[in-house]
Amino acid sequence: MLEVLIFATLNGLVTGLLLFMLASGLTLIFSMMGVLNFAHASFYMLGAYFAFSISQYLGFWAGLIFAPLIVGSVGALVERYGLRRVHKSGHVAELVFTFGLAFLVEEAIQFIWGRDTKNYQSPDILDFPLFTLFGQEFSAYRGFMIAISLGIFICLYRVLTRSRIGIIIQAAITHPNTVANLGHNVPLIFMGVFGVGTALAGLAGVIAGPVLTTFPGMAAVLGSIVFVIVVIGGLGSLAGAFIASLLIGLLQSYAIASDVGMPELLNLIGVSFESSHPLNDLWTLTLPQVAPILPFLLLVLVLIFRPTGLLGKREE
């Protein structure tokens, strides 16, 4: 039992940190633009594919460094020549633009790399068990995923709260006009934030590709969950996104690890059904089976009891 709990927690942590790598960029970009970027997960997918191609020639580590840089540059260009122009036509136009971009990226990826799953592998160096507990192994690659996510977040946090540029970014998000009047190039700052946000998504794709498989549907799989996280955490709140990411990562991981079915749970509260009941299929679902919809259930609960999200502020 204990080993299940420990491994489920570790795996939940891996997923949670990965989700936050996407959610942090998405929520920052939201506070800047005022709209959710539907194409955010597409940058995550691009990261995985770029890294896969680079790794074919130069190895995994080159992909780890260059793929996020390329994705970030693409993101910055998209902001500069796409979103910034569309911005003048209002929020609906921006939403439609990001929506279209998500489709475009998915089609382009199928066109260039094909529909099949890519054999993108974690590096051999990390192909050993980091530790073995109760006879179960925790792979070094997962440990590496935790380390790299935490490292990046600590760096970003320090830059955002301690440095001059961090102060300018914080202020530009809430008071763009005032910051521009003080002589700071706000459009350039926004382009930079967009670039860093998409580079983070790209990095998430690079490190997730080998574990979660690299295929053209990977953006759709994670994209909707990241939206859920950003809403649960409270739109625009980085701390909220962090809590929600870990919450959902752990929740899913526990659900998958627990081999409990609905009948057992229902029995616990004293309800039982005949197996001839017409809704028998529903009662006999197991928790691992319902794990994928748990984030959405949580979303509904949060929206009912706390519509602004966990740490969101109400617009005045």
Partner 1 sequence: MLEVSNLHAYYGKSHILQGVNFNVQKGEIVSLLGRNGVGRSTTVKTIMGEVAPQGSIKFKGLEIAGKESFEIAHLGLGYVPENRDIFPSLTVRQNLILGMKSTQTQGRWTIDEMFRMFPNLGERADVEGGVLSGGEQQMLCMCRTLMGDPDMIMIDEPTEGLAPKIVEQVANLLQEIARRGVAILLVEQKLSIALKISHRLYVMGHGKIVYEGTADSLMGEDAVRAEWLEV
**Contacts with partner 1, residue ranges (CB under 8 A):** 164, 167-168, 170-171, 174-175, 177-186
CB of 235 vs partner 1, minimal distance in Å: 17
**Cβ closest to partner 1, residue 182 vs residue 301:** 182
Q: Angle at CA 300, nearest 5°, toward 298 and 302?
A: 70
Whole-angstrom distance, CA of residue 202 vs CA of residue 305: 34
The CA distances from residue 76 to 83, 86, 271, 309, in Å, are: 10, 15, 56, 29
- Nearest alpha carbon to residue 252 among 32, 19, 3, 62: 19
CB of 164 vs partner 1, minimal distance in Å: 6
CB of 190 vs partner 1, minimal distance in Å: 12
Whole-angstrom distance, CA of residue 312 vs CA of residue 316: 12
**Cβ closest to partner 1, residue 56 vs residue 181:** 181
**Cβ closest to partner 1, residue 80 vs residue 184:** 184
CB of 181 vs partner 1, minimal distance in Å: 5
Which are the contacts of 152, defined by CB distance < 8 A and separation ≥ 6? 21, 200, 203
CB of 305 vs partner 1, minimal distance in Å: 27
**Cβ closest to partner 1, residue 162 vs residue 277:** 162
Residue 136 backbone phi and psi in degrees, to 5:
-110, 140
**Cβ closest to partner 1, residue 176 vs residue 288:** 176
CB of 170 vs partner 1, minimal distance in Å: 7
For residue 8, how far is the Cα from the chain centroid?
19
**Which class for 1: exposed (0-12), middle (13-18), buried (19 or more C-beta within 10 A)?**
exposed
**Cβ closest to partner 1, residue 56 vs residue 163:** 163
**Cβ closest to partner 1, residue 173 vs residue 225:** 173
Among left, alpha and beta (phi > 0; psi -120 to 50; other), residue 75 is alpha
CB of 25 vs partner 1, minimal distance in Å: 21
Whole-angstrom distance, CA of residue 3 vs CA of residue 120: 29
